[in-house]
Chain A
Amino acid sequence: AQSVTQLGSHVSVSEGALVLLRCNYSSSVPPYLFWYVQYPNQGLQLLLKYTTGATLVKGINGFEAEFKKSETSFHLTKPSAHMSDAAEYFCAVSAGGTSYGKLTFGQGTILTVHP
């Protein structure tokens, strides 16, 4: 069984400040980890993913995340927030293989960016 916990349902930052969205997972098998972003009334867009290999993964729009197995974490960061980053962010885990696209999502974190 797999689960994802996103710490903080709302995160507010100033434009130009560091963005840190926290995600912890639980998985009985080596996890595949994803961050998706959802803008209002839109579908989900993949920001980045970790499958195997390098534990620091870079994604679109300047976001990156680090897989830390010992901490069962996959936190999302961006050095400098932009107004256009305001959206809801979802962390997700899958088991890979035939279940690769079967995602278990966290509760989501709404990111607000203040001018």
Chain B
Amino acid sequence: DTAVSQTPKYLVTQMGNDKSIKCEQNLGHDTMYWYKQDSKKFLKIMFSYNNKELIINETVPNRFSPKSPDKAHLNLHINSLELGDSAVYFCASSHYERNTEAFFGQGTRLTVV
């Protein structure tokens, strides 16, 4: 009965590869997010989708492309991975109209070698 689930939990890949991280929420929320936590534990928002529409797109390289097939899913695809992409990526969700706080997934630790 996990609220926000991400797969995979760990991802090790080589530079130049393309990888995807999947996120699903079963809370009935209408807004989903991707956050990045760097090696110093600093958390920063990357993207936000409301009802499958992109509403927040922070300064993120074009190699990162989010996709929301429906309100319950938000995937993150990363092209041409670089060493600096190594981080923990958190998916989160909230409900705009109900003003619920953001619920976070367990994170995906991406290591680029």
Residues of A within 8 A of B (CB): 34, 36, 38, 41-46, 49, 51, 88, 90, 92, 96-105, 107-108
Say whether A44 contacts B99, CB under 8 Å.
no
Smallest CB gap from A110: residue in B: B41
Q: Which of A34, A36, A100 contacts B99 (CB 8 A)?
A: A100
Smallest CB gap from B3: residue in A: A43
CA–CA, A49 to B103, complex, Å? 13
Q: Which of B54-109 contact A (CB under 8 A)?
A: 55-56, 90, 92-94, 96, 99-107
Say whether B45 contacts A96, CB under 8 Å.
no
A-B contact count (CB 8 A): 64
Q: Which residues of A contact B44 (CB under 8 A)?
A: 105
Residues of B within 8 A of A (CB): 4, 31, 33, 35, 40-45, 48, 50, 55-56, 90, 92-94, 96, 99-107
Say whether A101 contacts B92, CB under 8 Å.
yes
Say whether B99 contacts A96, CB under 8 Å.
yes
A100-B94, A102-B56, A103-B45 known; A49+B101 contact, CB < 8 A: yes
CA–CA, A104 to B42, complex, Å? 10
